[in-house]
Every structure is written in C-alpha cells, then in structure tokens.
Structure 1
C-alpha cells in the first residue's frame, strides 16, 4: 500500500504536468567553511553535502532543501514539481511509484551513495561525484561521464597518488575540486604527480564554480581550487542589484496570488494575458544577463525563454502553472543572476558589458527595475476588466 505521505504528494502532483529540463541549464558547485559543499540548480533546488561529520558552518545547510553527509547511505531524489509549494526528499522506490503514475520531474536531483564513501549526484545532465580521500578501494562506476569530482576528506589527509590515478581512470572527470582541506602545495603536487592536472589548475578567489552539461569529451581534467567565501559585490553594483531584486520581489507578490484561470485571462481588448507579462519580465532579465555571463564564461549558455511579442502569436509556455509558480520562476531568474554575478568582477557600471546590447551595465540594471514596475502595473489594471475571473 502506498504510504500516506506519498499519497499526499501524488494528489499535489496530479494537478501538474511535467516540465522539460534543459540539459544546458547550469548548476553551481559551492565550497563553504568546515568541509561543506553545496549544489544549486537552475530550478532552485539546493543540496548541501557535509564532507565531515563535525562540519562547523551551518549556513549552507540551513539554506538547503536537503542536507546529507558523505558518511550517510542514500538512494533518493530531491524533487519539486510545478505548483508544489516545497521540495520532497523521496527514496528512489517512491519516486518510481510516482513515475509509474506518469508523474515525473526532469528537474530532480538524484543522490546515490555506495558503501565506499562515494556520493554520486545527477541533475540536469550533469554528474557530480563526492569521494572521501581515504576511499582508495572504491569500485563504483558512474553511469555517465563524471563532470565534477569533489575530493573530500574527513581526516585531513591528502589523497594518495594511486587513489587519484584510479579515480581519473575510473570516472574521467572534467573538473576536480579539492575539498575539506587547505589547497596546499602538497595537494597540488599529488595531483600533478598523478598526471591529473599538468597545467590545468585554475584558482578562484571565491567559492562558486559553474558547470553545465556537454557531450564533449576531455582528455585532461581541470583542477579548480576554490576559496570558501562568496564573492563580494562592490557597493554601488550591490545597490543597483538590490533594487532590481526588490522590483522583482514586489512583482512576484502580485502574481503569486493569481489562480491558473486568472493567469490565463485573455482581455477582450486584445491586450496580453497576465501570464504573458510574467513570462516576458522573467525572460528579458534571464536573456540579458545570460548573454553577459556566456560571453565571459561559455559554460553558462545563453538562456532565451522570451514569449512571442504580439498577442496573436503568443502561446502559453506553461498554461497549468498557477501564479505562485510563475512567481517562483521569476525568483529563479533572480537567483540565477546573483548566483553567477561573480563574473561581473572588475566590470565598470558605466561600461558596456561583454555580450550585451545595452550601452552600460548600469543602464541594464535600471531598465530591469523599471520593467518590473511597468508590466506589474499593466497586469494589475487587468483585474478590473470585464470577465476577469474571481
């Protein structure tokens, strides 16, 4: 018999259709003090992994939808389908029950552990493996090419050259990120001696690394040395960013109250539906900032979800999303924009950003602030039109 909590999940999910995740959607791998690594997806799911049992920093864990440990045992999915208010952490067996009921979530994070201290994570066509440096005897194979290998340690020891060589042959990672110990010369030397890194060592002064799916094979992995502190946004840029985010937040409050029928309302005067306004505002910010980020780091694709401009040409992207889900979509774009804003490091506000059609970065930020206000006001005016659903 299906468990009671799973029945509740089914009832919620039956009101939704599945949505297609784009394999190009970028995720962020982030390093935190005390041996904590977190993954953040474009869909807004956050998974924290404690690589030590006594991890001291609870900040990423507190913000995560689910926190796991390299010493734990897992065969789960972290999932949230459209219109569901919060994510679910389900054993794979229960997730398969939902799949049999034709309820699927292509945005889910699949988490699987082995008895050798290995955590395998799959999401958006990306495979991340977290392995303890002491797990020299692991025979775990990945179903697909490993994109990121996080070398973690609970003991503070450096992985042996033999271990690193074995992992390299076994998983063929695109990127290797040392975790849970200081990025010392000893660690780098081990990677070099194993023939893993050679000249492919990149050092970041912040804690975030972008990864997206690719079918391209790599002959030599890249070692990424991350800090454990986030990038600090310059004061003036931070102020403009906060204003843009506030404008989005205020707009979200308006849309979050609307039903599916209200979102799909087609005014008799031929103007756009409320849903078009939400899709348009979200799509413009996503496109403009992903163009900039892609020009700086091609790992992040240009993401264009803009609807057709004219009402007769427009089709709902997600006709069964309620207003709360469209508001979450807007928030996901805000999160995306801030998540990868470290790529703006050193950029002048009054200079043209790479890949951008806007004359300056400041002009883009100002326009986004105005844009949310204009289209939210347009939407609120529709509430008084004849035929608006109550």
Structure 2
C-alpha cells in the first residue's frame, strides 16, 4: 500500500511527496555500495527537476504574456515572459533610451503597441502587466483589431500571476545592471585607449578594416563602425577590391582605406583600426597620405595581439585583461566576421555563375 500510495502521489504531480522517502533512504545507505547511492541520487535529481518544471505550469492553457518595464536613468528594459499551454516557454528583453525620470506608466502603452502592433511579437489572449497603461480599453481594442481575437490586459495584485510579474521585474532590473556594467567598461576602455594611443580625445567613432581572399580573384574588403564602443551596423560597408595586383594584401588594404577616407558624404572616424601588423599599417598610412587625410590609426596583429602605430612600430603590448585591448579585439573580430561573410557570398555567386 505504501508503494502504491507513493506512485499515486507521483502520478498526481506531487514530486515532493516522493523526495522525502528517498532522502531518508539515502541517509540510511551511507555505508552501502556506491552504486546504490548513485541510483538514488540520480532519482532524487530527476524528481527535483520534475518539481521545478511543475512550478512553471499554471492550471489553464490561456496564451499569455507577462510584460514588465524597469527604468534606471535614461535606459528602460522591457522584459517579456511567454506562457503557452500553462508553461513558460520563452523570454525576451529589449533595451531602449528614455528621458530622465520617465515613469513606466507613461511609456507602457506605447511599448505594448509597438511590441504587438508592429514589433513582430505574436499577440496572446492575455497580457499581464506590471502596471496598467493609460487608455487600457483602447489598447485592448487596437490589439483585437490587429490579431482578430479578444485580448485582455490586466495587472495582478496577488497569486501566481503576481509572482511571475515579480520574477520578470527582477530579470528586467538584472538586465539593466548588466547594461550599466557593460557601459562602464566600454567607457573605461575608450578612455584607456585614448591614453595608450595618446589620442587628442576619446574616440567616439572607431572604424575597422579587413581584407579577405583565397586567391587572386574575389578579393573583398569591409569596414565596420563602432560608436561609443558599440557596433553601428547601419554604417557597415562592403567593398569589391579592384587593385589588379593579384593576391596582395597590402595593395588591397591601401585601396580599401583610400576609398573609404575619400567618401566625402561620410564623416571621418576618430580612429582607424587595421586588422594586421606593420605591413598593413604602412599600406593604410600610404592611403591616408595619398588622400591627404589626417586620422589617428592603429593596427592590431592577431598572433600576439600587439598594437602598432605610426610612432611606435616596435609594438605596444597591453595586458590581456586590458579594457582597451578587449575593446579593440572585439572590433577587430567583428570586422573579420563581416568580411568573411561577404567573401563567402561572393564565392557562392561565382560558383553559381551569377
């Protein structure tokens, strides 16, 4: 009867009912063979996992999202928990800039309208919010028109729904803390970089350049832009190298930099970053001289992560945990990824005869 009752409890979903007995048995087996203890330990872990999974279920199958907004300074984080068939299946967060001292209730309605009206989020039957927006009924009507089904917006004060809102709020605040830490590190890295390279000011706009080739054909180049230490993807550019020197990285780099700095419609960067060593740096300097452009420049060689500048061609070695070096490495790796992707596209088109 005892085993039968225990099986009934587990079948009903009460994982904790079975865990107590096994913990007692495990303590009694302290002097038994190791394999017996291992079997029970695995069983306990399985039951504990079952209990955790059950905590994510709600007793109904309403399609529901939990949405909270947290604001710190001029940054807001929108955090979304997606519940389907009673289970949390996904989560997303979005960061956006807001004015100082923004109240979440002031922007809640606009954010919900954007997320579900034009931001591509599937519209659930219920949206559970941390705070009710102004014009709740109008917002529900708008979402009903967009989705074709009724949408309810509400703010729970207690119970399981409130617990999930509290969890989402904690997660949103955590994301804001992470963003603040990243921002501080970016700012420190930029300031450190200005000091190491003896720049006239902190480099707000950094552009990096790289070349990719696997032979004398389909040679391509690319540039990426980081603004305030963050990628600015709308400023990324791709170049088909035209220099008729075959597989000549230096000539290709010279052409790439020259074409970029002679683009009158685009602002010059505060710092040029060249993926390579002294040879690539020299080629880029030739391009700047030919274009009669004065821009700060640094090259980053991959093997030892050594920096080369026009005034220090013996190399600058920074600690591997230096924020300045880590920032340059991140930018260098991004331009390398971007140019390799472009090169693969070109090779595929050549192979297909396009």
Q: TM-score range by the shorter chain?
A: under 0.3
Q: Larger relative CO (CA 8 A, sep 6+): 1 or 2? A: 1
Larger radius of gyration: 2
- Richer in helix (by share): 2
Greater strand fraction, Structure 1 or Structure 2: 2
